[in-house]
Amino acid sequence: MIQLNNIHKSYNLKTNPLHVLKGINLSIEEGEMVAIMGASGSGKSTLLNILGMLDEADSGTYTLDDTPIVQLSETKAAQYRNKFLGFVFQSFNLISYKTALENVSLPLYYQKIPRKERLIKAKENLDKVGLGERIDHVPSELSGGEKQRVAIARALASEPKVLLADEPTGALDTKTSYDLMALIQEINEQGKTMVVITHEHDIANMCKRIVHLRDGVIVEDKKIKQVKAKDHVE
């Protein structure tokens, strides 16, 4: 599903270069659930931005679902992002004056999906994340865990091949984090490929594989026995 080959990325190339990714090789198969771990500043978000086509590597190759991702125009990159990728962020990134239903259906509007179909899809995905009863609430009327569920529903509504999550539990307390991981595991069990950035070991252990970044290099990449989040809630 994902192949990164010798990816390098620096910031401030012209002024004061900071070499952040130093030859990343990473291959992720369909249906995997991979944690990307590493200390703050190790390059996790930079890597995710490249995976998410929000930024481009300086060198190396990236192939996503057999499609080479190279020097895409803004339009093409946006098309591929919509088709392949869903994003979930630590800070939820919901629109504060829109309801859960509107937040989930908005990306579908930009994909020119007719209104009726948008609303059906948005409702279906809110049901899937357990928020079927909260569709008319605005973010300030939802808890942190619920907001992140809305963000997940929004990401899923476009039916991406891969879900990229940057510290999805970073703003949540432990119990809420485990609840959310139970949902993410369930979505992964239904076949969705997941990449989860975290610096928390308990969250990483709920994935199926841990890739450890240190100073822009992968220092460890191992399959693990997945801890089931469900066993740690209640």
Nearest CA-CA partner of 62 in 77, 74, 75, 44: 77
Please identify, using beta-carbon distances, which residue of 45 and 169 lies nearer to Mg ion: 45
Find the shortest distance in angstroms from Cβ 40 to ligand ADP.
4
Find the shortest distance in angstroms from Cβ 187 to ligand ADP.
23
Q: Helix, strand, or coil here: 203?
A: helix
Longest dimension (CA), the chain: 53
Find the shortest distance in angstroms from Cβ 44 to ligand ADP.
3
In the β-sheet with 2-11, what is the strand arrangement from edge to edge?
18-28, 2-11, 59-64, 67-68
In the shown chain, the binding pattern of residues 18 to 57 toward ligand ADP, with x for contact by CB under 6 A and - for none, equals x-x-----------------x-xxxxxxx-----------
Q: Which does 41 bind (CB under 5 to 8 A by kind): Mg ion, ligand ADP, none?
A: ligand ADP
Find the shortest distance in angstroms from Cβ 12 to Mg ion.
18
**Binding residue count for ligand ADP, defined by CB under 6 A:** 12
Partners of residue 226 on adjacent β-strands: none
CB 1 within 8 A of CB 64: yes
Find the shortest distance in angstroms from Cβ 192 to Mg ion.
22
Please identify, using beta-carbon distances, which residue of 45 and 158 lies nearer to Mg ion: 45
From residue 2, alpha-carbon distances to 69, 140, 159, 207 in Å are 10, 36, 17, 17
Q: Which does 46 bind (CB under 5 to 8 A by kind): Mg ion, ligand ADP, none?
A: ligand ADP
Residue 132 in contact with ligand ADP, rule: CB under 6 A:
no
The Cα–Cα gap between 36 and 76 comes to 27
Q: Helix, strand, or coil here: 71?
A: coil
Please identify, using beta-carbon distances, which residue of 37 and 135 lies nearer to Mg ion: 37
Partners of residue 218 on adjacent β-strands: 213
What residue ranges bind ligand ADP (CB under 6 A)?
11-12, 18, 20, 38, 40-46
